[in-house]
Structure 1
Amino acid sequence: MSGIVGWVDFARDLSRFRPTVQAMAATMAARGPDGEGVWVDGHAALGQRRLDLRAPGNNPRQPFVVEDDNGPVATVVFSGTLYNLAELRRKLAAAGRRFPVESDDEAALLAYLQWGPDCVRHFDGVFAFAVWDIRKQELFLARDRLGLKPLYYVELPNGVLFASEQKALMSHPLVDPVLDAEGLTEILTYAGTPDHGVLKGFRKLRGAHTATVSTNGISIRRYWQLSAREHREDLPETIERTRALLLDAVARQAASDVPVGFLLSGGVDSSVVVGLAAKAGVASPLKTYTVTFADYEQQFQPDFVRGTPDAPYVRALVDFVGAEHQDIVLATSDLLDPVARINAVRAKDLPSMLGDMNTSLYLLCQAAREHVTVALSGETADSVFGGNVYGAEESVPEAPRTFPWVSFHEKHAGHHAMGGGLLDAGLLGELDLMGYGAARCAESFAETPQPDGISDAERRSRHDTYLQLTRWADSQLAHSERNAMAVGLDVRMPFADPALVDYVFNVPAPMKAFDGKGKSLLRAAGEGCVPDSVLNRPKSPFPVSIDPAYQRILQEQLSRVASDASSPLAGMLDVDQIGTRLADPASLGANWVARTDIEMILSLERWVRDYGIRLAL
């Protein structure tokens, strides 16, 4: 139940446009490989691609429709999972609502009919869904609290288009995909502006928000936000409370009617998830999956980003919990395979400087999907507990000149355009990336919930955490969710559980790092469930290829793009700088951060060509 689309037009009868909505839904076949459904009536047309996550018989035909004696009352398309489905069933039964099938779709629709827009306050889970209320002739859209399930929309003169992914919107004949200056700036700063859809006119429904679409237009409201309260527990109580919340999140998310696995990196985050799953006795036997590269351990050299290879820590954790483990070993040819690289770009619908990180994650998810339908991940732990690489070097000041991750990139890549170092300098100047970053940071800071009576240092720390949770994490969540769903794998992220996030958000910064090692609170919460060697491992991000052959192929591909007068990027590139760097290959391969400039150009060119993006820069 993982890909939804819809078209509402109050000035048009959509009855004859079923094929249009079917075509929109078909673009997301990978999100929902188990079935497709379309519902069309009057001014509304809804479509859905289905991934079965419930036991056989509990995955009803979608879109789901409720009828009374007078005919259809409302219909729903739903993406995601409600972890409190049993509780919802009891509540709805007590209210007199019939509940013949245990499905998330039916729960969402009956909850809407019972409580109206406030239904989302009763949900525990990740979701993006749409209800067409036939009685009111209104569309209701909603997204989960942390925005783990995507939902995009485009306003029309007399209605709206919506979809789980941008590719579905771009397939509609009324949509002209245009990348303007602001959209390119979003890409090059990783701004993660919560309601920005990058392409002109594309919007995201922000996490913890709902939207009602009627003849009066679109009305958006927030239904949840992080709290601002004084933290009263001492350190032992805080550790115990954090462990309990995380254990509960892992247990709820690992409970499933379909096979469950774990994406394991050997880092603290994913290892704690696996360790707590073992402690809770869920998903037995534990099935873990790790991506690595041929000869990686032998070729590995530590640098300022990655200090240790993953394999020894993976082995220690697997032995400790007795997991059924599989290493997904990738050759350089796998990372350069054009089908895999194009699919990785299409998975996210956006260009990215991450290159082989995208492709390897896509291939890891693809391999895991052969064995499991659901996989738990350690994503977002850095944003919650304060462990991002850039955060170790620079704390966000009171009035930052840009995002801290841009400052980190500037220090190590020599420029402030994330992946944009080979773009024309004049174009970058016109974009004013630094000014854009400062403005978006200021917006985030103004939103940050702050309790009374805290120190300036603590206030700045909360600013930093909020910025990570609502901006940086937006990109990271999409990175994992979209690559996984591109192969029909439902990835779940216990560290993004709202109760856990809200609690840790209010823990003072010194307590989160009480022993000075970084993510101290998380490490303490994982004690006894994870080997000490893993708990004490220094931060090391997702692995990347270190094969010189990979770098050489990237340079060859860059050379072809730069010399192609028909390229959609012609006129956007700094051809002289590219020529200088190609003449000195070491200048492009000195470190992975520098390599991101090539990855972004190749990804951007492929994205513009593949989707027919019109550039308006």
Structure 2
Amino acid sequence: MCGITGFIQWNGDLMHQSELLLKMTQTLSDRGPDAAGTWISNPCAFGHRRLSVMDPENGAQPMIRQLEDITYTIVYNGEIYNAPELKKELQQRGHFFRTQCDTEVLLESYIEWGPDCVDRLNGIFAFAVWDSEREQVFMARDRLGVKPLFYSQTEDVFVFGSEPKALLQHPAVEAAVDAEGLAEIFIIGPARTPGHGVYSSMKELRPGHTLTYSRDGVRIQAYWKLESIAHEDNTEETALKVRELLIDTVERQLISDVPVCTLLSGGLDSSALSALAVDYYKRTGQGQVHTYSVDYVDNDKHFKAHAFQPGADAPWIQRMVDELGTNHHWIEFDTPEVVAALNNSTLTRDLPGMADVDSSLYLFCREIKKGATVAISGEAADEVFGGYPWFHREDMLNSGTFPWAVAPDMRASLLSPEVRDWIKPLEYLNDRYSEAIGEVPKLPGETGKAAQMRVMSYLNITRFMPTLLDRKDRMSMGVGLEVRVPYCDHRLVQYVWNIPWSIKMTGGREKGILRKALEGVLPDDVLYRKKSPYPKTHNPSYLAAVKKQALQLLDDSSSPLLKLIDVHQVRDIAASPEASTNLPWFGQLMSGPQLFAYLTQVDNWLRTYKVAIR
């Protein structure tokens, strides 16, 4: 895992811009704390920060191949899980390898197959290849969007990077937002529109897409999309196929030359990955698996169950630790740490994010990094298999908008009248929802409930899931930790996408087919436990702290936030009974404490990045 950046400029001598390239590259040092490299050869400049995972002694980037008078140079962030098979095939085709790293496999794959190489890759990746023969840069992002990739194009220069902070170092890229950017911040969230960079000066390459930049400009193409086809397997065959795919995926992702651990919440998804990791380690003689969990001081005293958090995790974590015999690490944070990390998480994401859910994950990853370099995490299982409450509630299925963005009128009421008139938040939300619905690949002849659930699955996989993947990538890579996400294997996602809802709900339970696939892998009580999401703090001291910060902002005439929000409305919310609860009332995913924390994140972002509103 790494950070990549660079720029292409057809006119001028880039050798005089080496300091600029160094500055851009240095912004990504947290993503790649182990090594750095730059390369300039007119008209191309590449920068790279490395987190060494495979073949630490070799594999430095940018990596260059010179074939007679043709130069190929790559910068790459990610892991190619089928690199051994690709390497063998390439060797049979006459390619010679100098390292054991997947970077070289990826570069040789491009040399052999050109842009079509992406069709052969199984992994998580964002990369750029300078091809001197074609005089172009070819870029690609993995199918589900696990690894980020942003770009900016002006008449004079094309700039790219793993994170906005790298692009913003370039003088051609301005830290500015327009009406669309503000709508993304205040009305679409926590999800983001695919391809939207929020900053008006940049875009994000969509998952499953390639980008080619040459003297003719930018050309973007999709190389992978969900395909709707009839599902022919019965329930037993489906469960077996899911099990086989998941086991193969986990075992591929456990391969590493540095320590690997798993994140364990005691729920179905993470427990399954931990169990499969333990089994693999036993079979391959690799010793004890280390597992990690996160919680908050006094959460057991203040927890109240609700639809999105039906039960506490700690007893179930211990249940799995005892069952699997892992070396478990209990990580716990107190309110002051979580509040203080709100700013760190904003700077790490380059945008306001998911409040304490971001800040606690940042702290969690920082602690894990002390003992491991790679972690296995259960992201995406709920989106892929249909685990969230909104898959199972008719009011949310028929809301006519994104299920995580209900109560849009309440969200819009936060904005000042002038901003509401300018960005038209409800119209923007409706337009983005209509676009998403229009993209759904329909299955001929599919109607009623089955068609409705396909739409809901598509919204989750293409809109909500990338948000959580971005959060996990940015918070983990912000401390130099690589997180792998087996449920995002594109083979598994494509297969499950076409499983009929009636089979997905095997046994009348959410994620029923996954539970059936894991029979014998997990104890029955864990296997059929009700879903519980990433934990949030329930300590009233957190509410008091973030509410105080938010109210102080409202009294600070220098705050850039004030011209964007309805100050009186926010004060009224702060005084209301709902503001003192951790129940998700301000939309499905935002509680009172999270609202106050989010506003402080927005203010910090506007100040720190000196964001211009245009």
Question: What amino acid does structure 2 have at the position aligned with 1:323?
Answer: T
Deviation at 1:395?
Answer: 6.8
Name whichever of 457-466 and 45-54 sits farther off: 457-466
Query: Quick one: which of 518, 522, 534 aligns to 1:542?
Result: 534
Shift of 1:397: 5.6
In the alignment, structure 1 residue 324 sits paired with structure 2 residue 327: yes
Which runs of no fewer than 5 residues in structure 1 stay unpaired?
Answer: none
1:504 alignment counterpart: 496
What does residue 401 of structure 1 align with?
400
The question of whether the paired residues in 2 share the 8 Å contact of 1:276 and 1:526 is answered with: no
Deviation at 1:271, TM superposition (A): 1.2
**Residue 554 of structure 1: how far off its partner (Å):** 1.1
Is 1:64 aligned to residue 57 of structure 2? no
Question: After the TM superposition, which residues 462-477 of structure 1 pair with which residues of structure 2 at under 5 Å, given as runs?
Answer: 462-477=454-469
CA distance in 1, matches of 2:113, 2:204: 24
Q: Does the alignment pair 1:532 with 2:531?
A: no
Deviations along 1:561-590, whole A, 9 cap, x unmatched? 111111111222222223334445x44112
1:241-273 CA distances to partner (integer Å, 9 max, x unpaired)? Answer: 111111111111112111001111122111111
Match of 1:351 in 2: 352
Taking the aligned partners of 1:445 and 1:324, their CA distance within structure 2 comes to: 45
Residues of 1 paired with 2:525 and 2:300: CA distance?
18
Report the equivalent of 2:587.
Answer: none
Which 5+ residue runs of structure 2 have no aligned equivalent?
584-590
> Does the Cα contact within 8 Å between 2:390 and 2:396 map onto a contact in 1?
no
Report the Cα offset of residue 463 of structure 1: 1.3
Give the TM-score taking structure 1 as reference length.
0.94
Q: Distance in 1 between matches of 2:133 and 2:387?
A: 49
State the identity %. 37
Letter in structure 2 aligned against 1:591: N
The alpha-carbon deviation at position 279 of structure 1 amounts to: 3.1
Q: 2:391, 2:453 within 8 Å by CA — same for their partners in 1?
A: no
Offset from partner CA, 1:389-422 (integer Å, 9 cap, x none): 3333247768x63211112xx2xxx8552xx664
- What's 2:579 paired with? 588
Contact 1:228 1:450 in 2 (8 A): yes
State the alpha-carbon separation in 2 of the partners of residues 519 and 68 from structure 1.
51
1:550 Cα shift?
1.4
- Distance of 1:312 and 1:421 partners within structure 2: 41
What residue in structure 2 maps to residue 120 of structure 1? 118
Which residue does the alignment assign to 1:169? 167
Instruction: Tell me if 1:109 matches 2:101.
Output: no
Flag the 1:442–1:576 CA change in 2: closer, same or farther, 3 A: closer
Alpha carbons 2:307, 2:389 under 8 Å: kept:
no
Q: Distance in 2 between matches of 1:287 and 1:429?
A: 53
Residue 555 in structure 1 maps to residue 547 in structure 2: yes
Given candidates 562, 579, 582, the residue that maps to 1:570 is 562
Report the counterpart of residue 247 of structure 1 in structure 2.
Answer: 247
Counterpart of 2:93, as a letter, is A
Letter of the aligned partner of 1:501 in structure 2?
V
Corresponding residue to 1:136 among 134, 137, 148:
134
- Which of residues 335, 340, 356 in structure 1 aligns to 2:338? 335
3-state SS of 1:515 partner? helix
Matches of 1:503 and 1:429, distance apart in 2: 44
Q: Distance in 2 between matches of 1:435 and 1:255?
A: 47
Q: Distance in 1 between matches of 2:453 and 2:574?
A: 42
- Give the partner amino acid of 1:61: A
Once the two structures are superposed, the pairs formed by residues 56-95 of structure 1 within 5 Å of their partners are 56-57=56-57, 59-70=58-69, 73-95=71-93
Maintained 8 Å contact 2:356/2:594? no
Q: How does 1:240-389 map to 2 (within 5 A)?
A: 240-281=240-281, 284-337=287-340, 340-352=341-353, 354-389=354-389
> What's the offset of the Cα at 1:424?
2.5
d(CA) in 1 for partners of 2:364, 2:351: 20
Give the counterpart letter for 2:240 in structure 1: E
- Does the Cα contact within 8 Å between 1:259 and 1:372 map onto a contact in 2? yes
Contact 1:247 1:277 (C-alpha < 8 Å) held by counterparts: no
Looking at structure 1, the residues matched to 195 and 511 of structure 2 have their Cα atoms a distance apart, in angstroms, of: 29
Task: Report which stretch shifted further, 42-51 or 589-598.
Answer: 589-598
Please give the alpha-carbon distance, in whole angstroms, between the structure 2 residues aligned to 1:140 and 1:370: 36
- Matched letter for residue 214 of structure 1: S
Q: Which moved more, 1:230-239 or 1:384-393?
A: 384-393
What corresponds to 1:212 in structure 2?
212
Query: What SS is found at the alignment partner of 2:415?
Result: coil
Q: Is the 8 A contact 1:146 1:498 kept in 2?
A: yes
CA deviations 1:463-489 (Å, max 9, x no partner) are 111111011111111011111100111
The residue type equivalent to 2:375 in the other structure is A
Distance 2:114 2:157 in 1: 21
Deviation at 1:123, TM superposition (A): 1.2
Q: Aligned match of 2:606 in 603, 608, 611?
A: 608
* Aligned amino acid, residue 230 of structure 1: A
2: CA distance, partners of 1:269 / 1:428: 40
Conserved? CA contact 2:547–2:597, under 8 Å: no
Check whether the contact 1:78–1:104 (CA below 8 A) recurs between aligned residues: no
Q: 1:299 to 1:397 in 2, by over 3 A?
A: closer
Does the CA contact (< 8 Å) of 1:422 and 1:597 recur in 2? Answer: no
Q: Partner amino acid for 1:322?
A: G
In 2, distance between residues paired with 1:472 and 1:294?
29
CA change 1:582–1:504 in 2 (3 A) is: closer
The separation in 1 between residues aligned to 2:460 and 2:424, in whole angstroms, is: 22
Deviations 1:9-39 (A, max 9, x none): 1122211101111101111101000110000
Q: Distance in 2 between matches of 1:146 and 1:579?
A: 40
Shift of 1:517: 1.9
* Matched ranges for 1:191-230 at <5 A: 191-230=191-230
Are the aligned partners of 1:4 and 1:163 in contact in 2 as well (CA < 8 Å)? Answer: yes
Distance (Å, rounded) in 2 between the aligned partners of 1:68 and 1:539: 54
Question: 1:579, 1:481 → 2: CA distance?
Answer: 34
C-alpha RMSD of matched pairs (Å):
1.8
Deviation string for 1:357-381 (max 9, x for gaps)? 1111111111111111110100011
Q: Secondary structure at the match of 1:568?
A: coil
The counterpart of 1:450, out of the listed 442, 467, 474, is 442
Q: What is the CA distance between 1:441 and its match in structure 2?
A: 2.4
Cα distance in 1 between the residues matched to 2:225 and 2:132: 30
Query: C-alpha separation between the residues in 2 aligned to 1:461 and 1:583?
Result: 39
> Counterpart of 2:391?
391
CA–CA distance in structure 1, aligned partners of residues 84 and 535 of structure 2: 39
Q: CA deviation at 1:218?
A: 0.5
Aligned to 1:488: 480
More moved, 216-225 vs 452-461: 452-461
Amino acid at match of 1:65: I
Q: What is the alpha-carbon distance in structure 1 between the residues aligned to residue 498 and residue 426 of structure 2?
A: 30
**How far off its partner does 1:160 sit?**
0.8
Equivalent residue of 1:570, what SS? coil
SS at match of 1:470: helix
The letter of the residue matching 1:51 is L
Equivalent residue letter for 2:45:
A
Alpha-carbon distance in 2 for matches of 1:343, 1:389: 31
Q: Aligned residue pairs: how many?
A: 602
Q: Distance in 1 between matches of 2:263 and 2:421?
A: 40
Native 8 Å contact 2:504 2:513 kept in 1:
yes
CA distance 1:132–1:395, shift in 2 (3 Å) = farther
The residue type equivalent to 2:72 in the other structure is: A
